[in-house]
Structure 1
Amino acid sequence: MSGLEAAAAIIGITDVALRSVKGLYNFFEDLQDARESLPQIWSEISYLQTNLSSLEFLAKAGEDTLKNVKATGITQGINECGNVCDKFTRQLTRWTKDGVDGLIGKLNFKLHSAQIEKNRARLWVTARMLDMAVGILTLKLVLKFETERATEISALKQAVDSWQLEAEQAREKISAELRTLDDTEDSGVIDELDEEEGVLKRFVEHSGQTAGQLQAIKLNQTISGIKSDDNSTVKLGMPAAVVDKVVQQTITDVTSTKSKVTVGIW
């Protein structure tokens, strides 16, 4: 059993989901014409498949860790994505049975463009949920210096805000498109757009919850026993950009002679 398989078994991600994600990845890896015709799908499934390995550090997760994992929603997200990948792979197999680069293959991709875009959105959402989950869990479970944790919190918060904005803009675009459609339009297209809008809306909400989890992480910083070398420049403490994360800061026993030392918040 691989590290990913062990971690997945612990946190509740099914073997079927992992195989389905890998199956969609393999479909594109084995078919160059599909990669060239649907480059965004190939990009998203490659990113997701590669980054699933970032869950391996959970292979020995205990009960407390499992509670943290559940709070991220990543188990449900990947299991649902597995179902989507399985169905999408079967659809792609049918659509490309007569080739990808020929007239029929191109026509099939055009006819099913709404389904393809919906699935791209699902892959994008799941990959970003994975990034969020790993970021949050790493901050909570992996021992690091507080300054390093503070920097990672700030970077993840910026990424989450950016993804949330991107998803909201995409959702608003779909919503506007739906308002222009009437009953004469293909109901299948409307259904696909509705579903894609729902996926993006839930991701926007999930991003807000993740931002709240990040806001709740607070740091206690203790620095002691520092002796600086002559003619050196030393900064001890926290940059002002992350000061809102610091609950308490204690700096003691700092010795300096001919060096430049900045202590506290800088």
Structure 2
Amino acid sequence: MIEPLSVTASIVGITAPALHGIRLLINDVQSIKDAPEAIRALEDHLHRVSLAVSSLQAIDPREWEYLGSNVTDEVESTVRFCTASCDRFRLDLQRWTRHSPDGGFSWQDRAKMGFMKQGPIKSMQGHLQTCQIAINSVVGIATLYVREITFAVQTTDTQLAQVTETLKTLNTLDDARREVDMVRQLQEEQIALTWSRKLLDEIIAKLQEDPASRASGEKSGEKQGYSAQVTLEARPPAFRLALATGLSAGSLLAANE
């Protein structure tokens, strides 16, 4: 089981430089007067990925525990990938505009940016969009985990308390005033709610296990764990993160079956 507080500290440690790098690149883009449309569009992508990275800092430590080490590792890889991409593109942008001092845009640099550098610019937009989608999926899943499970636990506890209190009230009445069918029905409901509460505890415990531990107990899980590892290693961090969050969501669904 991962340590939630240490993961939170690690996430803060990688998101801070990422946000700084994104902000520097945004400033550089905004400083270019009469920049091509492709560069202006890049600014919008940068703002979006900045919001996505910032949202990681708002995830509760307990939610990281639910997600497991597989997802948190991929989050860190994705954020680092985003940081490195921004740093590299910022250096490229400075090189492409070296003939344009003081925020101006010389005809040489305009021609270069308009024709020769469309590929790298679109590639950077793709990197940012992929990172944004992958990070947002983690934030959404983390929020869904806690929100849905917490709501289910609270609802079950409330219903169980109400049934228990009603049974206590009925038990204080004499036999003539008690309705046997109602008592039996309430007792059955109490048993069902108790089992439902136990199931929720098992789901929470299962989510808190490391993904590798969850897979080791089932033959199919072992096979899936191996194939997932091969697939994850072969793809960029953002794609691996999307796959990892998908597997975690599947674990939740499997636990509810």
TM-score (norm 1): 0.50
Gaps of 5+ in 1: 1-5, 147-198, 219-243, 248-266
Q: Cα distance, 1:134 vs. partner?
A: 0.7
**RMSD between superposed Cα atoms in Å:** 3.6
2:63 and 2:145 in contact (8 A); partners too: no
- Alignment match, 1:124: 129
One-letter amino acid of the counterpart of residue 107, structure 2 = L
Q: Cα distance, 1:55 vs. partner?
A: 1.9
Q: Cα distance, 1:14 vs. partner?
A: 5.5
Distance 1:120 1:42 in 2: 9
Match of 1:212 among 218, 229, 247: 247
CA change 1:202–1:113 in 2 (3 A) is same
2:79 and 2:131 in contact (8 A); partners too: yes
2:63 and 2:143 in contact (8 A); partners too: no
- Alignment match, 2:201: none
Q: Count residues in correspondence.
A: 165
- Alignment match, 2:202: none
> Runs of 4 or more off by more than 6 Å in structure 1?
199-202
- Alignment match, 2:61: 61
TM-score (norm 2): 0.52
Instruction: Give me the identity figure in percent.
Output: 21
2:111 matches 1:107:
yes
Q: Secondary structure at the match of 2:58?
A: helix
Distance 2:52 2:64 in 1: 24
CA change 1:51–1:90 in 2 (3 A) is same
Distance 1:201 1:10 in 2: 20
Match of 1:135 among 113, 136, 140: 140
Gaps of 5+ in 2: 1-5, 153-233
Q: Cα distance, 1:80 vs. partner?
A: 1.7
Distance 2:235 2:125 in 1: 11
1:34-78 alpha-carbon deviations (Å, 9 max, x no partner): 3744233122111111232212323x6269639636515111111
2:46 matches 1:42:
no
Whose radius of gyration is greater, 1 or 2? 2
CA change 1:89–1:18 in 2 (3 A) is same
| More deviation, 25-34/89-98 | 25-34
1:224-265 alpha-carbon deviations (Å, 9 max, x no partner): xxxxxxxxxxxxxxxxxxxx9964xxxxxxxxxxxxxxxxxx
Larger strand share, 1 or 2: 1
Match of 2:151 among 142, 145, 160: 145
2:85 matches 1:84:
yes
